[in-house]
Amino acid sequence: MIEDVLGEAIDAPLSRGMQAEVEFTVRWSSDEASHEERYLARKVDPHRDFFPPGMDAPLKGAEVGTTSTGDYIPGKVVPGQRPRKIATLDRGCFKPMKIGGRTVEPVSGRFYPYQLLGSHPGIRTTDVRPAFRVVDVRGSEVKVDFNHPLAARHLAVEARLVKVYDRRSRGKLPDWMEEICMNGPGMQARTGGLRTKFDVDYALQRQDEDDSGFYAQPRQVDHVDKTALRLIREEYTKRLSTGAKVLDLMSSKQSHLPEDMDLAVTGLGMNVEELGANTLLMERLVHDLNAEPALPFGDASFDNVVNSLSVEYLTNPRAVTAEVLRVLRPGGQFMVSFSNRWFPEKVTALWTELHDFERMGLVLDYLLEAGFKDCWTVSIRNHWRPKDDPHFANTWDSDPVFVVGGVKTNS
Domains observed in the chain: 2-78+151-181 (3.10.50.30), 83-145 (no CATH), 211-407 (3.40.50.150)
Beta-bridge mates of residue 368: none
State how far Cα 404 lies from the chain centre. 8
The HSE-up count of residue 189 (CA atoms within 13 Å, CB side) is: 20
The stretches in the chain having pLDDT less than 50 are 1, 4
How far, in Å, CA of 25 to CA of 20, rounded?
16
Please give the pLDDT value at position 211: 87
Q: Is 157 strand, coil or helix?
A: strand
pTM to 2 decimal places: 0.94
C-alpha–C-alpha distance, residues 259 and 407, integer Å: 23
Per-residue pLDDT tens digits for 281-305 = 999 999 999 999 999 999 999 999 9
> Quick one: pLDDT at residue 411?
62
Instruction: Give the separation between CA 269 and CA 283, rounded to whole angstroms.
Output: 11
Report the share of the chain in percent with pLDDT over 70: 93
pLDDT at residue number 1: 45
| Distance separating alpha carbons of residues 98 and 110, to the nearest angstrom | 16
**Segment 175-214, tens digit of pLDDT:** 999 999 988 999 999 998 899 999 999 999 998 998 888 8
C-alpha distance across the termini of the chain, in Å = 53
The torsion angles phi and psi of 40, rounded to 5 degrees, stand at -85, 110
On average, the pLDDT of the chain sits at 91
Per-residue model confidence (pLDDT) at position 125? 56
